[in-house]
Amino acid sequence: MANEKILVVDDEEDILELVRYNLAKNGYKTVCAGTGENALKAAKLESPDLIILDLMLPGLDGLEVCRILKADSRTSAIPIVMLTAKGEEADVVAGLELGADDYVTKPFSPRILLARLRAVLRRKSLEPAAESQVIKIHDLVIHPGRHEVLVRGKPVEMTYTEFRLLHSLARRPGWVFTRSQIVDVVRGSDYPVTDRSVDVQIVGLRKKLGPCSEYIETVRGVGYRFKE
């Protein structure tokens, strides 16, 4: 059973109760807040292991709460899973770029929410992979030191930008990267990376990966992630 403390932020009492009940049933300690202002106070006082944050809050909205938390050294390392309404793709992208770790759209399945927060907590508990660490995922091997990619044992030629893109995604499986985050990570001298060109890079990368192309998933309206 889990014993992490989760701060749940939502102005709808029934949502708070639904999430609190399911978290408690799975062994999590819960703290609830109904406003952005109370969420900020609770985050500092309770030091939760993760925050489930609704974006549509009265007064101080979820995006502003996320921005403040990530700008404060006392709370910046706390993972955030956003709750968003369907069709709020722009808010999802904004939240991820502010530092949120994942999102779940309303209406949501408690099981899906639990799976997402477990994945985020698991990623946070692991030490970040070193830049030089070899990554092996089924038929795919990425060797940063050699700048080498093997698919089913056969080397695949890649540009600097393609390699950086693949390596960045593969180091954080399950992590959603927006297009502009990818731009920041993979800027290279061989290709003028922009938001629009990221999609072109992904198409080319998938083609080179062949049977391993399915490892790179498209998150509609948001960006990309490496299959966990």
What is the enclosing helix (H) or strand (E) of 82?
Answer: strand 80-85
Residue 182's nearest CA partner among 200, 157, 165 is: 165
Residue recorded with tokens 């940063």: 144
CATH code for the structural domain at 135-226: 1.10.10.10
Question: What global pTM score does this model have?
Answer: 0.70
| pLDDT value of residue 44 | 93
Of the pLDDT bands very low, low, confident and very high (cuts 50, 70, 90), residue 46 is: very high
Contact between 102 and 178 under an 8 Å Cβ cutoff? The reply is no
Q: Is the pLDDT of residue 163 over 50?
A: yes
Residue type, 186: V
| pLDDT value of residue 29 | 94
CATH code for the structural domain at 5-125: 3.40.50.2300
| pLDDT value of residue 189 | 46
Of the pLDDT bands very low, low, confident and very high (cuts 50, 70, 90), residue 149 is: very high
Q: Is the pLDDT of residue 186 over 80?
A: no
Give residue limits of the domains in the chain.
Answer: 5-125, 135-226
As a 3-state breakdown, the chain gives helix, strand, coil percent values, each rounded to 5, of 45, 20, 35
Give the mean pLDDT of 190-203: 74
Instruction: Enumerate residues 6+ apart whose C-beta is below 8 A from 89.
Output: 220, 221, 222
